[in-house]
Amino acid sequence: MIDIGVNLSNPRFAKDTQAVLTRAQQAGVEKLILTGTSIAESRAVSDLCAEYASQFNNMLFSTAGIHPHDAKEFTRSSINDLRELAAQRQVVALGEMGLDFNRNFSTPKAQEKAFEAQLELAAELRLPVFLHERDAADRQLQILKSYRDHLVDGVSHCFTGSKQALFGYLDLNLHIGVTGWISDDKRGESLQSLVHNIPLNRLMVETDAPYLLPKNMPKATAEKTAPPENTKSAKKVSRNEPAFLPFVIAAIAAHRSETKQEIAAATTANALRFFRLN
Ligand SMILES: [Zn+2]
């Protein structure tokens, strides 16, 4: 299994990174793609790959990009910074990048500027893109359409959108990343009914850890792996981690015709091909 979206630079992993990676390995999650969301975070995840490379051989890779929330920080020098990061062998994609009109932490105009600049860089460097989108499917699709011919590949990560958005991304020959969102019978209801439309060879899986703890996992399992600072207050047990990826796959399998094993095998092959990890 390959977890294509892990926020390992999140402070909630700072005290027990090694234990988290060991548990992932024991759970059969053989590779992780660590998500970069800003220049600083992209450097942080790339550094984590390097730091743990000898202990966890060929297991850790990362993306480098500027999340739409951070688009206001985007400057001329950002592209040079990303170019430098992309030259490192562990950096296998550009992103997160895209549009998020749900909360508009950066103005839509700033988001579009940062997004397009990163798409141009991805085209130039021939790197796949890791896409984020929330409440902005129409505009995101419009922009992607004009760049698609120049992009090697792209994945709409943590897809939670409408049927129209899903088919829009598939029409552009993009991949779809599914998280534990699908295990939430309330919030994930629409995704549960849509997931069978994703061709098996375009599907990838991600935990988005430490966020989105799968709802279909036994509470005791999450409690056992709570980060050290939370062990005293049992209430705060909600940290997701890569070792829980099998629960995401199980939740997907519940709404598709393939078995968990078939989904695990196909999404692994897809991620190896997409991020060119072979
Ligand atoms: Zn995202």
Q: pLDDT for 117-130, tens place per residue?
A: 999 999 999 999 99
Hunting for tokens 């985007």 — which residue is that?
Answer: 74
| CATH number of domain containing 71 | 3.20.20.140
Centroid of ligand 1 to alpha carbon of 77 (angstroms)? 23
Nearest partner of 59 among 88, 17, 26, 30, judged by Cα:
30
Q: Note the pLDDT of residue 223.
A: 81
Tell me whether residue 101 is exposed, middle or buried, using C-beta atoms within 10 angstroms of its C-beta: 0 to 12, 13 to 18, 19 or more.
middle
Q: Note the pLDDT of residue 230.
A: 54
Nearest partner of 4 among 121, 92, 124, judged by Cα:
92
Identity of the amino acid at 106: S
Residue-averaged pLDDT of the chain: 95
Tell me whether residue 256 is exposed, middle or buried, using C-beta atoms within 10 angstroms of its C-beta: 0 to 12, 13 to 18, 19 or more.
middle
User: pLDDT exceeding 70 applies to what percent of the chain?
Assistant: 96
222 pLDDT band, cuts 50/70/90, is: confident
Q: pLDDT for 32-81, tens place per residue?
A: 999 999 999 999 999 999 999 999 999 999 999 999 999 999 998 999 99
Centroid of ligand 1 to alpha carbon of 10 (angstroms)? 14
Query: Mean pLDDT throughout 207-229?
Result: 87
224 pLDDT band, cuts 50/70/90, is: confident
The count of domains in the chain is 1
3-state secondary structure 101-162: CCCCCCCHHHHHHHHHHHHHHHHHHCCCEEEEEECCHHHHHHHHHHHHHHCCCEEECCCCCC
Centroid of ligand 1 to alpha carbon of 159 (angstroms)? 9
Centroid of ligand 1 to alpha carbon of 96 (angstroms)? 6
Q: Over 60: is that where the pLDDT of 91 sits?
A: yes
What does the buried/exposed string (b/e) look like for 187-217 if buried means 16 or more CB atoms within 10 Å of the residue's CB? Answer: ebeebbebbeebeeebbbbbbbbbbbbbbeb
Q: Which pTM does this prediction carry?
A: 0.96
Q: Note the pLDDT of residue 237.
A: 62
Centroid of ligand 1 to alpha carbon of 219 (angstroms)? 25
Q: Note the pLDDT of residue 240.
A: 97
Centroid of ligand 1 to alpha carbon of 131 (angstroms)? 7
226 pLDDT band, cuts 50/70/90, is: confident
Q: pLDDT for 4-43, tens place per residue?
A: 999 999 999 999 999 999 999 999 999 999 999 999 999 9
User: pLDDT exceeding 90 applies to what percent of the chain?
Assistant: 91
Beta bridge partners of 34: 6, 62
Centroid of ligand 1 to alpha carbon of 232 (angstroms)? 31
Q: Over 70: is that where the pLDDT of 235 sits?
A: no
Mention every residue, 6+ apart, whose C-beta is less than 8 A from residue 55.
18, 21
Query: Mean pLDDT throughout 81-94?
Result: 98
Q: pLDDT for 138-183, tens place per residue?
A: 999 999 999 999 999 999 999 999 999 999 999 999 999 999 999 9
The range of the structural domain enclosing residue 86 comes to 2-274
Query: Mean pLDDT throughout 206-227?
Result: 90
Token duo for residue 179: 């998280």
C-alpha span between 140 and 131 (Å, rounded): 9
